[in-house]
Structure 1
Amino acid sequence: MDLRIFERRYLDLVRDCGRSASGFGVCLILEGDEAGAPAIPAAYGVEARIENFDLGEDGLLSLRVRGHRRFHVVRTRVRDNGLVMADVEWRCADEDGEIRPEHALLGTLLQAMMEKVGTDLAKLPPRVFEHAGWVGWRLAQVLPITPEQRVSLLQEDDVHARLQRLLEWID
């Protein structure tokens, strides 16, 4: 995901992440906006790790981040600069086994979508499209599903149950 950073609270966040070599949480906003007053976040999210940064022509900081691990928010508080901070419980990592036969269509669908769009993912070895967790997260990223559906996928610890939900939504 690409982000453009311009608010002081987010510049402070990026600075703190750089100093501690850590990531930051990204959650769906339930109430409020990305800019301005602190928003109310969803109770589940993903830790984002900064992969690259640059200063844009407009003078704004541009970040390229990648999702790392899922979390459940236990408690939130707002810093004096307006940044929402949270205590979180880390969710278990996916067991990235192979896609079960009943979900094989999803791997094929994702591969066809990537080839049609022409992304770098289309150049990956075909074997990667057989990994249940990887396919589920890529489909959650690219399918036209609601933000609430995306959050429900974050809450699901079982990769095959996650794929089953995606399959039902595609129907």
Structure 2
Amino acid sequence: MVNVAYFTVATPQALSKTGVIVVALLIGKVFGPTMQWLTAVLAALSSLGNIMTASFSVSRVIQGLAKEGVLSSSSVFATRTSSGPPAGAFYLSFLSSIVVILFIPFGDAYNFILDVGQYTMAVVIFFVVIGLFVMRKRMGYVPRTFKVWSSVACVYLAVQSWLVITPL
């Protein structure tokens, strides 16, 4: 029903004139321009939170790869702060996101860079999940404080496989 509401309110002409996201346009039509502006701000804050969360989770993967010596400059990316988070890997991931947002002009080039970045992450995560299964097979049962259920790993592998194969 939400999609029907979006298509009812947000015609292609209306979207091209306002320059806001669809939900902000819908809220603006229903509740007025102040709420449209607030919705756009909340969507931007949500995107910032997504970038920060993704940067933190990706930095853990980068740190793990650096500890294994897979990356060049491993000593920089394997470092961590006194409280535990990976400092060098986080800054690499977060700053690369900020650079793309601030310096790449919006349009086809921006969309292409975002698509390539997402595709690259899908490939990396695909191989990380494959590595999980390989490690489990080689090491056998090892007691751990946290264990990923095999069913969850299989679903995650299926999703990453889909994300890697469909663009081709």
Q: After TM superposition, is the score higher than 0.5?
A: no
State the structure with bigger RCO (CA 8 A, min sep 6), 1 or 2: 1
Structure richer in strand, relative to its length = 1
Higher gyration radius (CA) = 2
TM-score, structure 2 as length reference: 0.23
| Higher helix proportion (structure 1 or 2) | 2
